Structure 1
Amino acid sequence: GPLIVTAKGAARPDGRAADVDQDVVVLFQAINEQASPMVWPNAKDPLLATASFKKMTVNGYTWCTQPPISLVQGQRVRWHLASVGTEDSLHSFHWHGNTLQYQGHNVDNWDLMGSGTASLDMQPDEPGSWLLHCHVNFHLNNGMAVTYNVLPSSPPLPPPVMTGVTRTYYIAAEEVTWDYAPSGGQMCSGEVEPFDEDAAVFLGPPEGIRIGSNYTKAQFFEYTDANFSTRVERGPEEAYLGLVGPLLRATVGDTIVVVFLNRIRYYASLHPHGVRYDKRNEGSPYNDGQGDTKQDDYVVPRGGNYTYTWLVTERAGPGPADPSSKLWMYHSHVHEASDTYSGMFGGILITRRGAAQNAAAGGNTSVLPLTKPADVDQEVVLFFSVINEAGSLYTFDNVRQYLDQSLWTTSELYDTLLKNASFEESSLKHAVNGFMFCNMPRISFVAGSRVRLHIMVLGSVEDMHTPSIGGGTFLSLGERGASVATIAGSMMSQDVMFTQPGNFSVQCRVLDHVMAGMQALYTVLPAPSGQLAVAGAASVQRVYYIAAEQVSWNFAPQGYVQCTSTDQLGSALTYITKTFQSIGSTRLKAQYRRYTDASFSQLSPQPSSHGLPGPLVAAEVGDIITVVLLNRLLFNVTFTPDGGLVTLGDTVHGAVVEPGQNLTYSWVVPQQVC
C-alpha cells in the first residue's frame, strides 16, 4: 500500500501536505494470478480455471470499473503513482483532459518501470469525465484504464483568455502504400546493399507467410484549405519525417483549429496530447456520460469531416524547467492501438510565449507570427516504434493482397496465420519515422549548431527504446548523455550538441531493436572556424593501453547461496549449475583490459569489484584521450566512446582493429560535453 511522507513543517495535523487539497493514489499493475499463492483455491472454480491469469489493473480494477475518482476544477491535486510487477510492468500513465507538472515540466503522461513511484501535481482546468490509462497498447487493450471526474467549481472558473492568433490546419486521413525500405535494400553502410539474413526476416519480398516491406496504411496529410484538393508538400528538409503526420505548430496563447477529413474506410479521429480541449474536441470514444460513442465523441466516419478546436494555454506550453519548445503527440483514438499501428499519428510543437523567432526580432504583423524558437537553429522530430502490422486496421487487407489465399480463405486459416510465430516476427517493423535499416532520408546538421530533438514513442511492451546519437550528446532533464530512455507513450524534447563532424547513426540501443533495423543515418558538417573547442598546446594527454582479450568469466564464483546464505529457488540452478543440459556459471567472454604500457605485458591494477566492464577512462574538459587498442581476439573489434568527443589527427570514428593488430585513437574532450 501507499506511504506518503510530507516535508517537515509542510504538513497538516493529519500528516498530509498543507499545499494540496486532494491526494490521489494510482497503482498500475499487471497482476499474474498464476504466481499467487492463491492460484490453487481460485482454480477450483471452473469459471476461473479457464480465465486469463494476467490482469491489467488500476488499483486492482480493470476496464474502468474502479469507483470514480472525483476532483474539483481548480483544486490542487497531487497524483501519487506507482508501478508494481515484473519485466512487463513498463507503464505510461496518460491523463485525458488535463495536464500535470513534475519538477517544472508540463506533462500529460508519466513513465514508470516496475517498483517505480512518482508524485505529480495537477490543477484540473476542464470539467468532465476523463480517461486515465496506460499508453502501452497491450495494457490498454486488456483493461488498464480508469476514469476520473472533474466537477465544476463554485463559482465556475472563467474560460481561458486566448491572446494569441488562431492557426488553422486542414488534415486528411488517407490510405497509402507504405514502404519501410524504399531503396530496396539496407543502407546503414551509406550505400544500398541487399537485405542480409536479419533484414530479410522483416523486409524480404513476399514469400510464404512474409508480406515484406510494402503495406497498406493510413497516414495524415496536410492541405492548403477546406477544399482538400491541394496537398501541402514537404520540402527536402522534412522528407525524413516519413510516416509522421503534419507538425502542428503554435505558441502559448494561440488557438489551434484542425479541419479534419476522413478518407479512409474506417472511423478515425484526432486526439491531442497536452493542449486544452473540452469533450467535443477530445476525439476519443469511451463511456464518459456524453452519449453515443460514435456521434457524441466526435469521431469521424469515412467521407465525414469535423473541426477540432484546441487551446494552447500556459499549461499546454513548456514548463519552467522545459526548453523553450516542447513536443506533444496527436493521433487517432477510435481504436488507439490499431489506429496508431496503421499510421495515424503526428506531432504538436508548442513554443513558450515570447520565445519564437519573430517575437525576439520584433515580428511582422502582416502575417501569422512564427512559432519556431529563437534559441535553436534546427528542430527535428523522431518517432520510434515497433510497428506491429499484425495489429493494424489493415492486417487482413495486407494478408489478402500479398499472401497466398490458402493462408486466409477461412477464419480458421486466418487465425492460424495470425498465431504463426514467423508471421508475428515478420510483422514487427522496428522503425524510425516509418523507415528501417537506415532508409530514412538523411538529415544534416552543423557541428556546434543548436539543435532540439523531439522524440515520441507509441507501441506496446516491446517499445522500450534508448534513442542514441553518435557525434554528439543530449541535454535532457538537466543532464547530458549519449542516449535517453523512453517507453510507449513517451514524449521528450531535449537539446543536442553535435561536436564531431562525420556520418553517424541515430538508433535504439536496445540490441534486438537495432539488429532488427531501428536506425537511421545523419551527417554532421564541419563547424565554422572557432565554433568548437579544440585541443591547445597546454592540453593534458591521458594515454590508455587497452587490449581486447578472451577471458574465462565466472558469473557466480561463490556459488548460488551467496546472497542469503541459503538455497535459492530451483530456478537458480538453471543459470549457474553445470549439468548435461546447461553450461554453468563460467563462460568465455571478450573483455577490455588495461595494461601499464605499450608492451601489453603487465595489467594495470583494477579493483576486484569492477568485474566484467572495461577499464575506467577519465578525463577533464580540454584533455586529450589517447587509447592504444590491441586486438587479441579472433574477430574484429573497435573502440567507440560516447559523449561527443572530437577525433584528433588521423583517428577515424569507429575504425576497426583486425585480430592481432593495434590502432591508436585520439580524442579531445570539448567544453560542450559537460
Structure 2
Amino acid sequence: MEWPKPEHMALVGPIIRAEVGDVLKIRFKNKASRAYSIYSHGVSYEKPSEGALYMDGSSGYGKEDDVVLPGNVHNYTWFIKQGPSESDPPCIPYVYHSHINLAKDTNSGLIGVLLICKKGTLNYDHTRNDVSTELVVLSKAFDENHSWYIDHNLKQCGSIVVCKRTRKMGETHWVESNIMRSINGRSFSNLEGLSACAGDKVAWYFLSFGDEMDVHSTFVEGQVMDIQHQRKSTASVYPGTAEAAFMIPHGPGSYRVSSMMEDHYEDGMSAMFVVNDCLYPNASLPVTTKTRMYFLSIEEDAWDYAPSGRDQLKNTTLTEGSISNLFFDPTAKIGGKYIKARYIQYMDETFLSTVDRKPSEKHMGIIGPVIRVEEGDELIIYLKNKAKKTFSFTAQSLYSTPENSGYAEGLFAGSERQYKFQVPTNVTKPGDPDCVVRMYFSATDYTRDVNAGLIGPLLICKKGKLQVDNQPVDNTTKEFFLLFKMFDENKAEYLDTTMTTYGSAFTHAQRQEEAFMLSNRMMSINGYSFANIPGLDMCSNDNVVWYIMTIGHSTDDVSPHFQGQTFADSGRNSDTVGLTSGSTKTVRMVPDMPGTWALLSVVNEQDIMGMNAKYTVNACQDRPFYPRDNIYTNVQSPTYAPMTRRFAIAATEVNWDYASIQSDFVSGIGLNDPRADGNIYIKHDKNFIGTVYKKAVYKAYMDVSFTKPVTRGFDAGHLGILGPVIQAEVGDFIEILFHNNASRPYSMYAHGLMTNKSNEGYFYSDGRPITGQHSVAPGQTVMYRWYVAARSGPGKGDPNCVPHLYYSAVDRTRDVATGLVGPMEICRKGTLDQSNRRRDVSREFHLLFKMFNENLSWYLDDNVKQHAPGRLGTQFDLDSKFEESNKKYSINGELYGNLKGLMMLQNETVVWYLYALGTKTGLNTVHFNGNTVVRQSKMNKRTDTIEVYPGMSEAVTMFAENAGSWMVNSNVDIHFTSGMIAPYKVFPL
C-alpha cells in the first residue's frame, strides 16, 4: 500500500528523514517501464548504494545500484555521518533523485527530499518535534522535451503527425510549450494543500533541480521567514541545492507564493499559501511602536538610458560600429529613449509638492525613492496612480494582509489608496550595517510592471537608527543604491507609446524579429547603460555602504564587480557579489585606492551590452588619507618585514586538447558515436574543429630569461589549462614579470589585490594615459606590482586562505575565452610554509568551471583553417550546430572526465578552490559525490553542492572520510550532459 503524503507535495517524492548517526535502509522497487535508480545528496554510502551511473571502476554487485531495471528491487544503505553544523537550523534538506541520465530522469519527475536533522529532533514516527507543519517547494522548469516520456506524451497532441514534424524541426515555440514552469509540478496556482495555521511553527524546504533556467528566487508575499540567520520573504535555490526556512505565519488568508524570475512568473510558477485561523494565541502580530508614512505617486516620463550619447567606459560614441549601436541607433531601431513609469515621492497626501532628490541621490536614476523603516515599525504607503495603466505596490520582508496584496486588483489610473505593512523585528543580524536593503515594486502584472520601471529600495534599519524625518541618525556613511537590471522594453507596457512619441514605426512582423527584440533589452544600472550613471563619487577612507539589488529573467543572474577596492560581506572580503533575480545585498567598503575605477557585472553579455559604470575615489582634504598610488614604498608593517613574491609568467600559444579520451564518463559510450549526447562537442571532420584548439595560456618560467618553463609537479597536475597558482600572504608584495610570447596584445588583471592605476592591467577609460601594463604588445615584457592588503585576504568569517582569479583584460571576454585565466590563493600571515604549502591542510585543488566559447576566441579563424577547412569561405558563424560545437563545458579546460590528478588519502583535510567565469548561463552548482564539504563563513554550512557565480570564487573544506572513486561535476543539466565532469579518488588507508 502506498504511504500517503501531504497533498501539496504533488509530484515531489516523499520526505525521507534521519538524524546524525542514523543508518537509512531504502528498499527501492522500480514499478516504472524503464530503468531508474535513487541517489541522494548529503549522505555517505558504499559503492553498491550510491545509485549514480558513471565510470567509477565498480562492477558486478557494485553496479546494480546504478541501474535498477523495471520490476527489480535494490536495497540501498545510507550512513548519516554528518549533518547540520552548529550554526545550521535543526534540520537541513537535500535532494534525492534518479541518476542514470540526470537530465531525463529528473525531467521525468524523479525528485524528492531528504531531511538530515540534529540528534533528538525527530519523534519515534520520524516526524519533527520542533515544528507543527512542513512545507516543500520544488521550483522547477520541467523540460518535457527531455523527458523519457515525450513520445508517450506526444499522443495527446491534437495532430500527432504535425507535432512529430514540429519536434523534429526543433521549432522554438513548440519546444517552449513543453517547458512547464511549476511549483511541485503544478502551474498557475493549481497547487492544493499549501497551508498552515496562523501562529504555527512552519518549516519550509525550498529546492531546485534542472537546467540553466532553474535558478530560483521564491517570494512569499505578506510573510517573513528565517533563512540562514536572516529574516526574508525570498528564498534562493540553485540546481541541485535546497534551503531550509522557518516561519510563524500571521494574518489568516491567502498569500501568493511565486517566482521572482520574470519569465517563470509569466509562465505560471506560482501557488497560493493559505493561512488558516486556528485560534492560536500567537497568531496576531505584535503591536507596532511607530508608524512611518510615505506618499508615492506613479508617473509616466521619458527616460534616456545614455544621456551623454557616449559609452563612458570606453570613451566612444554609442553608434560607431560597436555593439552599443544595436541599442542606441534611432535610425535602425527605437534608440535609447523610452517612456517609463516611476515611483515619485511627495511631501504629503495632497500630492502637490514633490520631495526633491538630494545631490547625494543623483545616482539613483530610474529607481524609486528610498523608503526607510525601523524594525518593529508600521509602514503606511499612500499611493496615487497618475499613470494611464493599472499598477500597485508590494515589498519584500514585510508582513501584510491579503487585502494589502500588490498582486491582487491594482490601482486604476487616477485612483489613490493606502497599503499597510508591518516591519518584523530582528531583520538585521549582528555585524550587519545599520540598515539592510530589500525591494518594493508593482505586481499587478509583475513582469510588465517591473520592466515599466516600478522598482525601488526599502531600507530596514536597526531600532534607533532613524530620525523623526526618516533620515539616518549617522550621516557620516556614504550610501549608494544600485539596481542591476536588464529592462526588457518588449515586456513593458509602453513600447507602443514610445514608438508613437519618437516617431518609430515597425510592423508586427518586424517587432517579432530577434534583432528588434534584442535592441529593446537594455542592460543597465539604475536605468543607465554604458557607464552613464552619475554621482558615484566618494573620498578615500569614507565609510561606504552599497545597497545592491536585481530583478530579471531566470538567466539574468548578475555578478557586480568593483575594480580597485574590496568590500566586507558577512565577515568575508571580496570584490564581486553574486545575485539572482529578487535578491539584495548590503556590503560595506572603506575605499583606499584613489582613482576612477570600473564597476560592472562580470557576466560577459551584461558587461558587453552596457551593464557597467565608473566610480571615483578622491583624495579629499577633509579625510585622513594614506597615499597609496606608490603603495610599494608607503606600506608599513609594525610586526614584520613585507615579503616580495616574484613570478615570471608568459602568455604562450599552445594547441589544447579538451578531450584526449573521447568517451562519456557517465555512460562509457564513445563520444564519436553520433547518437551520444556529447558527440557535437568532440565531432571532428572537415566541417567541425573537434577537441584540439589553438589557445593562449599563462605559463610559469624558472627565471626572467623565459627559456625554462616550470614543470608542473604532482600537486599541480590537475590545473589543466589554468595558469600557475599565485600564492601570497597578507602583507606581501607580488611582482609579476609578464612576457607576451603570443601574437596579439594581452595583460594580467587580478581580482581582490591592491594595485594602483598603472598596474591594473584592465583596459578602459579611467582618465589616465594608457600604459604598457594595460595592453602588452607581442614580444614585450612588463612588470606588474600588486600589494596584498588586509582587505585582500581572509575576513573574520573566511577560512585561512581565500581564492581569487587573474586573467587578461585587454578585451576580457575574448581574452579569457582564448584561455588566459589563472588562480590566486591569498592566506593569513603564517599559513604558508617555505615551499608555499599550507600548514593547516593536507591537500589543495583549484577548479575552474567554465564554458570556453571558442566562437569568441581570438584564434577561431586559425582553428577553422587548421581543423575544419570545409568551413573556409562560408558564413560559419550563422550555423547554430557549428556554434554549439565550439562551446566547451569544461573543468580546467577538460571535458567528460579527462581531468586528472584529483587524488587524496582517506581522512585527509582537503581544500577545494572553486571558480566560475563567463556568460549569463555561467552560474554553476558544483556537486561532490561521496563526500560533503563545509563552506566557512560566520555561519558555517555543510553541503555537497555549492553555487558559484561568474567572476566569483569559493573555498570549501572536505574531510575525505569516504574512500572510493567519486565524481565532481556541475549539477546544471546542460553543463553535466555536455561534459563538465571530473573524477576524484580517495585512497583508503
TM-score, structure 1 as length reference: 0.90
Q: Aligned residue for 1:282? A: 405
1:108 shift after superposition: 0.9
Equivalent residues of 2:288, 2:422 under 8 A apart: no
Q: Aligned residue for 1:291? A: none
Question: Which residue, out of 241, 245, 266, partners 2:368?
Answer: 245
Q: Aligned residue for 1:554? A: 657
1:311 shift after superposition: 1.8
Q: Aligned residue for 1:327? A: 437
> How far apart, CA to CA, are the structure 1 residues paired with 2:348 and 2:536?
29
> How far apart, CA to CA, are the structure 1 residues paired with 2:708 and 2:492?
59
Question: Which residue, out of 437, 440, 443, partners 2:533?
Answer: 440
Q: Aligned residue for 2:319? A: 195
Question: Which residue, out of 720, 740, 744, partners 1:611?
Answer: 720
> How far apart, CA to CA, are the structure 2 residues paired with 1:368 and 1:207?
48
Deviations 1:572-591 (A, max 9, x none): 22111311221010111121
2:157 aligned with 1:46, yes or no?
A: yes
Deviations 1:352-375 (A, max 9, x none): 124x276xxxxxxxx44643668x
Amino acid corresponding to residue 671 of structure 1 in structure 2: A
Amino acid corresponding to residue 125 of structure 1 in structure 2: H
Residues 634 and 403 of structure 1: CA distance in aligned 2, closer, same or farther (over 3 Å): farther
> How far apart, CA to CA, are the structure 2 residues paired with 1:342 and 1:554?
47
* Mapping for residues 413-492 of structure 1, pairs under 5 Å: 414=508, 416-492=509-585
Deviations 1:90-110 (A, max 9, x none): 111111111111221111112
Q: Aligned residue for 2:12? A: none
1:404 shift after superposition: 5.0
> How far apart, CA to CA, are the structure 1 residues paired with 2:199 and 2:590?
40
Equivalent residues of 1:431, 1:518 under 8 A apart: yes
2:120 aligned with 1:9, yes or no?
A: yes
Q: Aligned residue for 2:624? A: 528
Amino acid corresponding to residue 609 of structure 1 in structure 2: H
Equivalent residues of 2:372, 2:470 under 8 A apart: no
1:236 shift after superposition: 2.2
1:541 shift after superposition: 0.5
Question: Which residue, out of 231, 241, 248, partners 1:123?
Answer: 248
Deviations 1:135-168 (A, max 9, x none): 1111111111111111224245375455543322
Q: Aligned residue for 2:450? A: 340
> How far apart, CA to CA, are the structure 1 residues paired with 2:290 and 2:646?
58
1:658 shift after superposition: 2.0
1:468 shift after superposition: 0.8
Amino acid corresponding to residue 290 of structure 2 in structure 1: V
Equivalent residues of 1:499, 1:644 under 8 A apart: no
1:340 shift after superposition: 0.5
Amino acid corresponding to residue 470 of structure 1 in structure 2: Q
* Mapping for residues 268-307 of structure 1, pairs under 5 Å: 268-285=391-408, 294=409, 299-307=410-418
Equivalent residues of 2:755, 2:787 under 8 A apart: yes
Deviations 1:477-528 (A, max 9, x none): 4432221111211122222343322111111111111001110110122472
* Mapping for residues 218-229 of structure 1, pairs under 5 Å: 218-229=341-352
1:431 shift after superposition: 0.6
Residues 211 and 624 of structure 1: CA distance in aligned 2, closer, same or farther (over 3 Å): same
> How far apart, CA to CA, are the structure 2 residues paired with 1:325 and 1:614?
41
2:275 aligned with 1:150, yes or no?
A: yes
> How far apart, CA to CA, are the structure 2 residues paired with 1:336 and 1:216?
18
> How far apart, CA to CA, are the structure 1 residues paired with 2:702 and 2:542?
39
Question: Which residue, out of 170, 174, 185, partners 2:310?
Answer: 185
2:119 aligned with 1:19, yes or no?
A: no
* Mapping for residues 86-235 of structure 1, pairs under 5 Å: 86-157=211-282, 159-162=284-287, 164-189=289-314, 191=315, 193-208=317-332, 210-235=333-358
Deviations 1:567-620 (A, max 9, x none): 255242211131122101011112111112111111123222111122111111
Residues 137 and 305 of structure 1: CA distance in aligned 2, closer, same or farther (over 3 Å): same
Deviations 1:255-313 (A, max 9, x none): 2222111011101111111122222322221xxxxxxxx3xxxx211111112222223
Equivalent residues of 1:69, 1:148 under 8 A apart: yes
Equivalent residues of 1:109, 1:489 under 8 A apart: yes
Equivalent residues of 1:105, 1:321 under 8 A apart: no
> How far apart, CA to CA, are the structure 2 residues paired with 1:30 and 1:403?
40
Equivalent residues of 1:324, 1:373 under 8 A apart: no
Amino acid corresponding to residue 438 of structure 2 in structure 1: W
Deviations 1:215-270 (A, max 9, x none): 01111111122222222121221111101111101111322222111011101111
> How far apart, CA to CA, are the structure 1 residues paired with 2:489 and 2:705?
55
2:361 aligned with 1:260, yes or no?
A: no
Amino acid corresponding to residue 658 of structure 1 in structure 2: A
> How far apart, CA to CA, are the structure 1 residues paired with 2:486 and 2:253?
34
> How far apart, CA to CA, are the structure 1 residues paired with 2:527 and 2:598?
16
SS of 1:79's partner is strand
Residues 336 and 142 of structure 1: CA distance in aligned 2, closer, same or farther (over 3 Å): same
Equivalent residues of 1:545, 1:627 under 8 A apart: yes
2:788 aligned with 1:669, yes or no?
A: yes
* Mapping for residues 357-396 of structure 1, pairs under 5 Å: 367-368=468-469, 370-371=471-472, 377-396=477-496
2:704 aligned with 1:601, yes or no?
A: no
Equivalent residues of 2:138, 2:183 under 8 A apart: yes
> How far apart, CA to CA, are the structure 1 residues paired with 2:425 and 2:182?
33
2:647 aligned with 1:544, yes or no?
A: yes
Equivalent residues of 2:318, 2:328 under 8 A apart: no
> How far apart, CA to CA, are the structure 1 residues paired with 2:250 and 2:627?
46
1:60 shift after superposition: 0.9
What residue ranges of structure 2 are gaps of 5+ in the alignment? 1-111, 164-173, 763-772, 795-989
Equivalent residues of 2:407, 2:444 under 8 A apart: yes
Residues 353 and 653 of structure 1: CA distance in aligned 2, closer, same or farther (over 3 Å): farther
Instruction: Select between 469-478 and 265-274 the one with higher mean Cα deviation.
Output: 469-478
Residues 487 and 201 of structure 1: CA distance in aligned 2, closer, same or farther (over 3 Å): farther
Q: Aligned residue for 1:67? A: 192
Amino acid corresponding to residue 482 of structure 2 in structure 1: L
Residues 563 and 535 of structure 1: CA distance in aligned 2, closer, same or farther (over 3 Å): farther
1:207 shift after superposition: 2.5
Equivalent residues of 1:270, 1:283 under 8 A apart: yes
1:177 shift after superposition: 0.6
Q: Aligned residue for 1:364? A: none
1:436 shift after superposition: 0.5
Equivalent residues of 2:196, 2:274 under 8 A apart: yes
Residues 102 and 320 of structure 1: CA distance in aligned 2, closer, same or farther (over 3 Å): farther
SS of 2:726's partner is coil
SS of 2:490's partner is helix
Residues 3 and 28 of structure 1: CA distance in aligned 2, closer, same or farther (over 3 Å): same
SS of 1:10's partner is coil
Equivalent residues of 2:296, 2:345 under 8 A apart: yes
Residues 76 and 249 of structure 1: CA distance in aligned 2, closer, same or farther (over 3 Å): same
1:27 shift after superposition: 0.7
Amino acid corresponding to residue 552 of structure 1 in structure 2: N
Equivalent residues of 1:325, 1:373 under 8 A apart: no
Equivalent residues of 2:199, 2:283 under 8 A apart: no
Question: Over aligned residue pairs, what C-alpha RMSD do you find?
Answer: 2.3
Instruction: Select between 444-453 and 593-602 the one with higher mean Cα deviation.
Output: 444-453
The count of residues paired between Structure 1 and Structure 2 equals 641
Residues 442 and 582 of structure 1: CA distance in aligned 2, closer, same or farther (over 3 Å): farther
Equivalent residues of 2:300, 2:340 under 8 A apart: yes
TM-score, structure 2 as length reference: 0.62
